[in-house]
Structure 1
Amino acid sequence: MAHNWDDLRLFLAVAREQSLSGAGKQLRLDPATLGRRVARLEKALEVSLFVKSPQGYALTEAGARLMERAEAAEQAMRLATAGVAAPSDRLTGQIRIGAPDGSANFLLPQVCARIGAEHPGLDIQIVALPRVFNLSRREADMAIAVSAPDTGRLMVQKITDYHLHLAAADTYLAQHDPIETVADLKAHRIVGYIPDMIFDRELDYLADLGLARVNLASNSVSVQGHIIQQGGGVGVVHDFALPFLPGVRRVLAEEVHLRRAFYLIRHADDRRNARLRQFAELLSGALRSEVARLEAKA
């Protein structure tokens, strides 16, 4: 673990700016001094946090793990001091978030409501669409995605992992044959995505289970959840959505356990936009906390 918050603060600045010079300007520190501090932190942790190249500082896997924890600590500190923050720390203006409808329906409403309460001068817009957003055309200021894009001038930050299981309504399970193995699923009605409208390979859950036919389908994960709740069949449900679907429970929980991740995508040109960066930090930390809270209740 890092020795103190100051170490984590410097680490976060370098990770976000991806350079010593950029982080040094933000922190008002000499890049050489900052480089020594980073090296000292790596020595203390006995891991390499960055891959250094002429293009800048890129996070290693260990660095990415530390960034998740450091951002969570940063968010906790921000929330602890929110009541005494100076008015100048308040965000204002409009920020638009693009998001797939799972996060838009089950996570962003409560997360953005809390952020909005802390920043009353801020207008938050949530665009819920089951597709990949084009930030180059400025469809949104930032977007949540289920896979990390590898093209375009984008900043990509992993927010958190999340989990999914097969699920069905108690009413459905009471009226149909028991489901004891994956092979038993072939005798049941399946709820899922419309196959030719799956916009990301990470969402093609049923193909991995060998289930080619989807009896009741929607391009919306929220609609799928409500179909399942109404006794329509068996389908894959986010663990964080289960608390919103009373009467629905996991099926084959030990045999079928899926893990995916949310990523926050921003345009590279916004790297030095302090306002968007502050909002992105608030959003990421709050989403991590909300996923953990809801999954613990599932």
Structure 2
Amino acid sequence: MQNWDDMRLFLAVAREQSLSAAGKILRLDPATLGRRMARLEKAMQVVLFMKSPQGYALTQAGEQLLERAGAVEQAMRGAAVGDLVQSETLSGQIRLGAPDGCANFLLPQVCTAISRENPGLDIQIVALPRVVNLTRREADMAIGVSAPTAGRLVVRQVTEYQLHLAASETYLAQQREICGLADLKEHRMVGYISDMIFDRELDYLADLGAGRVALASNSVSVQVNMLRQGAGVGVVHDFSLPFAPGLRRVLINEVSLTRAFYLIRHADDARNARLARFAGLLSAGLKAEVARLEELVT
């Protein structure tokens, strides 16, 4: 670990994703701050930031350093008051926004575990088939399927997840065998309502050239239940399959999609120790739960 002054400056830039914004907090000239970050990268022999007109986004090495430096910061703050922040239980209310697939199949387990260890904490999950607006304070933080590029937000990738085509055993037994992508045109497709897809990352069927969507919903859970009823073939999250007995993946080698969940927080809350503690627990729990559920279907 470098000296703490370097880490203090790094944390400000990493959280604000902007030299000017971090400079205001640190009372440093942005140019000076930029030189300090360049010097830090040179000393560590790694690239910590991806620089663009939109700001400073963390590289993978930067994310790793953020985690380490943040842990040191937490320990130092805790020592100053005679108790480690990480050992404190959480209380009060925290509202979390999430797409309905994550909200239905992952967050109940993750948030129940957090609640069990923090009995004074009230967790509210807002499941929406759209991007949660943190600027309007619809939630304290949000899970997204892509990293937003606008607004004063702090964004971190939590975990990747897998998706495959699937259909019910009953449907597959009654229909023509699916041997390749071309065969999908002979089958009923289940998917999103095209004009209600709120993120390009969710437009799975367009990428597959599957054509007409016979049964559609803006809800992942509804799509999964349609498939369980034998409605046709659709793209499902692997982590949802343990909750959907009777569904079987098809064309596993031809169609294997990878997406990611991102934890999105308002920049003004970046130094809120309580929210940071919850964010850490949420990220770790979400990553572990995706891995556990996906392991059940491999």
Shorter chain as denominator, the TM-score bin is 0.7 to 0.9
Residue in 2 that maps onto 1:78: none
Stretch moving more, 255-264 or 13-22: 13-22
Measure the CA separation in 2 of the matches of 1:226 and 1:112. 24
Residue in 2 that maps onto 1:184: 183
The residue type paired with residue 64 of structure 2 is: L
Secondary structure, in 3 states, of the residue corresponding to 2:156?
Answer: strand
Shift of the alpha carbon at 1:274?
A: 1.1
Change (3 A) 1:59 1:257: same
Secondary structure, in 3 states, of the residue corresponding to 2:262?
Answer: strand
Residue in 2 that maps onto 1:111: 110
Measure the CA separation in 1 of the matches of 2:272 and 2:162. 32
Residue in 2 that maps onto 1:95: 94
Residue by residue over 1:248-282, the C-alpha shift from the partner in whole angstroms, topping out at 9 and shown as x without a partner, is 11110100111111111111111121111111111
Q: Within 5 A, what are the aligned runs for 1:165-204? A: 165-204=164-203
Change (3 A) 1:296 1:22: farther
The residue type paired with residue 253 of structure 2 is: E
Shift of the alpha carbon at 1:48?
A: 2.3
1:228 equivalent to 2:227? Answer yes
Structural RMSD (CA): 3.4
Q: Within 5 A, what are the aligned runs for 1:12-91? A: 15-16=14-15, 39=40, 46-50=45-49, 58-64=56-62, 66=64, 70=67, 89-91=88-90
The residue type paired with residue 62 of structure 1 is: Q
Measure the CA separation in 2 of the matches of 1:86 and 1:64. 23
Shift of the alpha carbon at 1:120?
A: 0.5
Change (3 A) 1:179 1:64: farther
Q: Which runs of 5+ in 2 are unaligned?
A: 27-32, 72-83
Measure the CA separation in 1 of the matches of 2:250 and 2:285. 29
Measure the CA separation in 1 of the matches of 2:65 and 2:168. 39
The residue type paired with residue 138 of structure 1 is: R
Change (3 A) 1:139 1:65: closer
Q: Which runs of 5+ in 1 are unaligned?
A: 25-31, 75-84
Q: State percent identity of aligned pairs.
A: 62
Shift of the alpha carbon at 1:62?
A: 3.2
Residue by residue over 1:33-73, the C-alpha shift from the partner in whole angstroms, topping out at 9 and shown as x without a partner, is xx79x94x9766x52234689x99x45433256369x58xx
The residue type paired with residue 268 of structure 2 is: D
Q: For this pair of structures, how many residues does the alignment match? A: 271
Secondary structure, in 3 states, of the residue corresponding to 1:212?
Answer: coil
Measure the CA separation in 1 of the matches of 2:173 and 2:89. 52
TM-score by length of 2: 0.79
Change (3 A) 1:193 1:64: farther
Measure the CA separation in 1 of the matches of 2:16 and 2:274. 15
